[in-house]
Copies of this chain bind each other. A is one copy, B any other.
Amino acid sequence: MPAMPPKRRTKARKQPLQQRSRETVAVILEAAARVLEARGLEGYNTNAVAERGGISVGSVYQYFPNKDALTLALITRFEDALLAKVRDAVAASEGKSLTASLNLIVRAQLEAHAERAGLNRILEAEEDRLRPASSGTSAAGELKELVADLLARHRREIARPVDDDAVEDLIVISRAMVDHALQNNLSQAAATRRVLRAIEGYLFGPRPDS
């Protein structure tokens, strides 16, 4: 079992309360994103980020205690964006059929991932390394809730008991399918179809015997 590296601060070093600060933080994040996109994890370093952002390294460290914290902030930004899209999709699916709702949600996910596919893939890979082993994010929590609520609303149409495990599995499956679709450059349509097929299989498939 890998030894846990010595704890390091990974929270923001200073809350960007001032206007100027908030802008700088935004600049840093965007610069980091661009470096990651342009040069990959390989060429991603704080000096490059600073240069790209037209600021100094010192400024990066004014707001992020270390490189990992910066990456983590990027991950959070992505998660928040994803979550927002899903939230909207869920809201928009009020009154719609389960299939239609799922369709909306899957599209939302695909969009969120597709927007900056290269970047997001890298971030997802880094997440594993940076999160202390399944430390539930609030974002992850809310996603579960959203899905759970949707499923609950359509309980009767679903062939299996809708418990926490089901919600989790559904998220795992759709995330994997979405990633796979993007990796293979599937068209929006094909991607949606395949992801949906997987999800609906899970939901409407035969009630498990065991």
Smallest CB gap from A206: residue in B: B204
Asked if A111 is at the interface of the complex by the 8 Å CB criterion, the answer is no
Asked if A141 is at the interface of the complex by the 8 Å CB criterion, the answer is no
Asked if A200 is at the interface of the complex by the 8 Å CB criterion, the answer is yes
Complex CA–CA separation, A60 to B49 (angstroms): 22
Complex CA–CA separation, A134 to B186 (angstroms): 13
Nearest chain B CB to A173's CB is how many angstroms away? 6
Asked if A203 is at the interface of the complex by the 8 Å CB criterion, the answer is yes
- Number of residues of chain A lying within 8 A (CB) of chain B: 46
Q: Which of B3, B122, B198 contacts A173 (CB 8 A)?
A: B198
Interface residues of A in 107-163 (CB under 8 A from B): 118, 121-122, 125, 128-129, 133-134, 160
Given known contacts A1-B118, A2-B40, A169 and B184 CB-to-CB distance under 8 angstroms: no
Nearest chain B CB to A53's CB is how many angstroms away? 18
* Per-residue contact bits, chain A 190-210, to B (CB 8 Å; 1 contact, 0 not): 000110111011111110101
Q: Which of B122, B129, B172, B201 contacts A176 (CB 8 A)?
A: B172
Complex CA–CA separation, A41 to B125 (angstroms): 13
Given known contacts A177-B172, A183-B134, A210-B193, A37 and B2 CB-to-CB distance under 8 angstroms: yes
Nearest chain B CB to A26's CB is how many angstroms away? 22
Complex CA–CA separation, A112 to B9 (angstroms): 35
Interface residues of A in 27-50 (CB under 8 A from B): 36-43
- Contact B169 A41, beta carbon cutoff 8 Å: no
A38: chain B residues within 8 A (beta carbon)? 1-3
Chain A contact residues, CB within 8 Å of chain B: 1-3, 5, 36-43, 118, 121-122, 125, 128-129, 133-134, 160, 165, 168-169, 172-173, 175-177, 180, 183-184, 193-194, 196-198, 200-206, 208, 210
